[in-house]
Amino acid sequence: MTVRNAAVFTLLISDRLCLNLPFIKSTPQPPSSDFLSSRVQIRDREIKVNIFDMAGHPFFYEVRNEFYKDTQGVILVYDVGLKESFDSLDAWLTEMKQELGPQGNIENIVFAVCANKIDCAKHRCVDESEGRLWAESRGFLYFETSAQSGEGINEMFQAFYSAIVDLCDNGGKRPMSSINIGFTKEQADSIRRIRNSKDSWDMLGVKPGASRDEVNKAYRKLAVLLHPDKCGVQFVAAFPVPPGSKDIFPIWGP
């Protein structure tokens, strides 16, 4: 299953894989849901894949909710040049959880996040680190693709299908080792706070006017938590040294 906002092309992504169709700029915006089927070779077996492209417009909600049950994999697609489509990912997860109900388990579905239109670099407003953080902090696969050039499409589907095969081989439960999570929840929460902070106090998670000891303690915690050796991303350099802590960690300071 692929899901996306109404303004995001996903049929072009599916067509690239299932039908081997070239990208056509004049292709009209897909107004509703669609279904594609394909046979693919994954490791030592051939599998049949049924792809339901779910329209994002609220008008098609009643169509979408019929397909959530028994879904084994979901590809969440957003346009890297359209922040609104990225911000809608949380709403998609909420809708799925509601439709699956108490008996459904979203943890037993393979999720892949597809950051599409990477060929339009000059219009990009959602960077890779932000998209990857959102995906990996939830245990989801993350891929960067271009429906226009075909970049990343085959790699994404191969990894996605392979993860679903592993899920089926594991009795319908997603193996814990099948997805390499780049961030712990605590790291992800800290990075989000840094990105969305209004000032240095907010960045550290302390109240304005906090004591020097409180500031240094909070800064020390962030420095250790977000050290590149732990999370593999240079996020610490993204926030300034807070008041009163320049002499605590010269390695982090300017």
- pLDDT per residue as tens digits for the range 1-18: 565 554 444 444 555 555
Asked if 33 and 24 touch (Cβ cutoff 8 Å), the reply is no
pLDDT in tens, 143-193: 999 888 888 888 999 999 999 999 888 888 777 644 555 566 677 777 777
Its pTM stands at: 0.65
Residue 122, pLDDT > 50, answer: yes
Q: How many Å apart are CA 31 and CA 5, to the nearest integer?
A: 11
Residue 242, pLDDT > 60, answer: no
Strand partners, 111: 74
Residue 208, pLDDT > 60, answer: yes
Beta-carbon contacts of 182 under 8 Å, excluding residues fewer than 6 positions away, are 132, 133, 136, 137, 231, 232, 233
pLDDT at position 175 is: 72
